[in-house]
Structure 1
């Protein structure tokens, strides 16, 4: 199978940057387009009117400005890994909803994401972002094991 459009989610964490690094490596190998996605909440948005901090399942809640910063860092990681055709998208909404919607919009055939939260108690009780995406995405999803990872270069 050859992927021509690969997407990856980031929340600015070192673990998500490991997923970006993996996605960029795949994009380089397949000569594919790479779309890096970051969900954010508007200050007038739904989740506790939050700008930053941690949400109920321990995932960072970011505003649009912070999302743009995370995407720029992720773009640098992807470029250093050799991905050539990189685009970034910051979208307002829940991470699962944003990731699934962007997959459809971009025609991505593969979503790469870290496994953060999959094994946590909160992830088992409330559901993790990776688990939610796997349930709703209609494309291949690759979970990168980011437990005990080395930060990207």
Structure 2
């Protein structure tokens, strides 16, 4: 994982001052992009990275006549952690690994963010599929909704370059924080080439009410 000092500096400028980073992983390939960006940001900021693995469904759920209890392959998890520790060592990043058990993964992530006083949570776009996804709902979406800090969602093979920023707003009070942060990011990072604001309305009839920045 080779990244120039200039790239690291720009990543730091774009995200602002970070003193505590929480990386949430689930053991799937969909966390790979998040792992890479979390390591690079931690390296750029010169801070320790805290990695959280929420150990899936520890309770028994019943739905539609089906009962499901998650089992964990401890050998797989150990190898998974070792792989990430090796990547952290390559980047000279201090890594703390935390494992939590909870029946609601997003609550485990949010509670840890409060405990760590995290400035940002970094996680993948999606992970669990099939029955697990049906029972758990969208962990990423729920984390975004209730997190006490910024959340960076990184798709599997993506990287944050800081060249193009798109802000989606519906004009509500809940969009104001996102608006301020997006504008600040664009102002901080010299790599930004374009800034696009998209106003979202529920139907064509509502276009006249579209929010204008």
Regarding TM over 0.5, the answer is yes
Secondary structure of the 1:4 match is coil
Partner residue, 2:180:
none
| 8 Å CA contact retained: 1:8, 1:20 | yes
Match status 1:86 vs 2:101: no
Distance 1:101 1:64 in 2: 24
Deviation of 1:114 after TM superposition, in Å, equals 1.0
* 1:124-152 alpha-carbon deviations (Å, 9 max, x no partner): 9x741110101111100001122xx28xx
* Whole-angstrom CA distance in 1 between matches of 2:95 and 2:39: 9
2:81: which partner in 1?
Answer: 71
Question: Contact 1:34–1:83 at 8 Å: present in 2 too?
Answer: no
Q: CA deviation at 1:64?
A: 5.9
TM-score where L is the length of structure 1: 0.72
Cα 1:50/1:116, change in 2 over 3 Å: closer
- Is residue 19 of structure 2 the alignment partner of residue 4 of structure 1? yes
- Find out whether 1:49 has 2:69 as its counterpart: yes
Aligned ranges for residues 1-153 of structure 1 at < 5 Å?
Answer: 1-41=16-56, 45-47=58-60, 48-51=68-71, 62=72, 66-80=76-90, 82-93=91-102, 94-116=104-126, 127-146=137-156, 149=157
What TM-score do you get using the length of structure 2 for normalisation?
Answer: 0.54
Change (3 A) 1:68 1:91: farther
Question: Using the alignment, how far apart are the partners of 1:78 and 1:13 within structure 2?
Answer: 18
Q: 2:75 & 2:101 partners in 1: Cα distance? A: 11
Q: In 1, Cα distance between the equivalents of 2:155 and 2:74?
A: 27
SS at structure 2 position matched to 1:89: strand
Which structure would you say has the larger Rg?
A: 2
- Separation in structure 2 between the aligned mates of residue 89 and residue 63 of structure 1, nearest angstrom: 17
1:10/1:74 contact within 8 Å kept: no
Alpha-carbon spacing, 1:24–1:83, altered in 2? closer, same or farther (3 Å):
farther
| Larger RCO (alpha carbons 8 Å, 6+ apart) | 1
